[in-house]
């Protein structure tokens, strides 16, 4: 959004979900964006979530973890306080245009092959595998053979290339 000089209309910027929670979030998107409330928690329901936050606290800063609607765990990676995270979440969630959405997934954060198959009803998932039978799959050759796709902030040039090519085919 910064590169395009656009207002942040998505509450999902600057944070991440573990994949099972992301699928739940997308399957009930209107509820989670319009009605669900965030309750902040001390620990992730995933051991890898607590490990990542502890590691990041050493190199960067501690960040809040919230449960949206009591179910969907959100790691507010780029936020310093619960107040900041909640404020930005609710403000940006209110801006979402449900008639003009681009939903993107990435093979990261405990994403399984089954999650990718569930995601197949949605437009795009960036993957390290060439799942030819899945219409949503956007295989990134540069990440082939890796356990997961790489950090979209550090590899933005790679994602932009594949995203723009995919958008052209969706029209």
**The length of the chain, given as a count of residues:** 171
- Domain assignment present for residue 99? The answer is no
CA distance linking residue 107 with residue 87, whole number of Å: 28
Q: Domain boundary residue among 93, 126, 142?
A: 93
Q: Give the tens place of pLDDT for each residue, 110-153.
A: 767 877 777 766 666 678 888 888 777 778 889 888 887 777 76
* Domain match, 77 and 45 both: yes
The residue segments making up the domain with residue 125 are 104-170
pLDDT at 1 over 80: no
Q: Give the tens place of pLDDT for each residue, 76-118.
A: 988 999 999 999 999 999 988 776 666 666 666 776 787 777 7
Q: 45 vs 49, 52, 62, CA distance in Å?
A: 7, 12, 17
Question: According to the model, what pLDDT value does residue 122 have?
Answer: 62
pTM metric for this prediction: 0.67
């Amino acid at each position: 959004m910064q590169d395009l000089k656009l207002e942040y209309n998505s509450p999902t910027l600057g944070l991440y979900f573990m994949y099972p929670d992301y699928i739940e979030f997308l399957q009930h998107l209107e509820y989670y964006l319009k009605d669900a409330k965030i309750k902040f928690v001390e620990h992730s329901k995933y051991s890898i979530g607590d490990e990542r936050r502890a590691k990041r606290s050493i190199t960067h800063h501690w960040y809040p973890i919230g449960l949206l609607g009591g179910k969907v765990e959100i790691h507010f990676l780029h936020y310093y306080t619960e107040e900041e995270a909640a404020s930005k979440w609710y403000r940006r969630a209110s801006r979402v245009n449900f008639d003009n959405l681009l939903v993107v997934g990435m093979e990261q954060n405990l994403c399984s092959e089954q999650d990718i198959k569930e995601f197949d009803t949605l437009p795009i998932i960036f993957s390290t595998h060439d799942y030819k039978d899945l219409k949503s799959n956007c295989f990134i050759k540069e990440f082939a053979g890796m356990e997961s796709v790489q950090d979209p902030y550090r590899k933005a040039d790679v994602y932009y290339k594949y995203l723009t090519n995919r958008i052209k085919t969706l029209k």
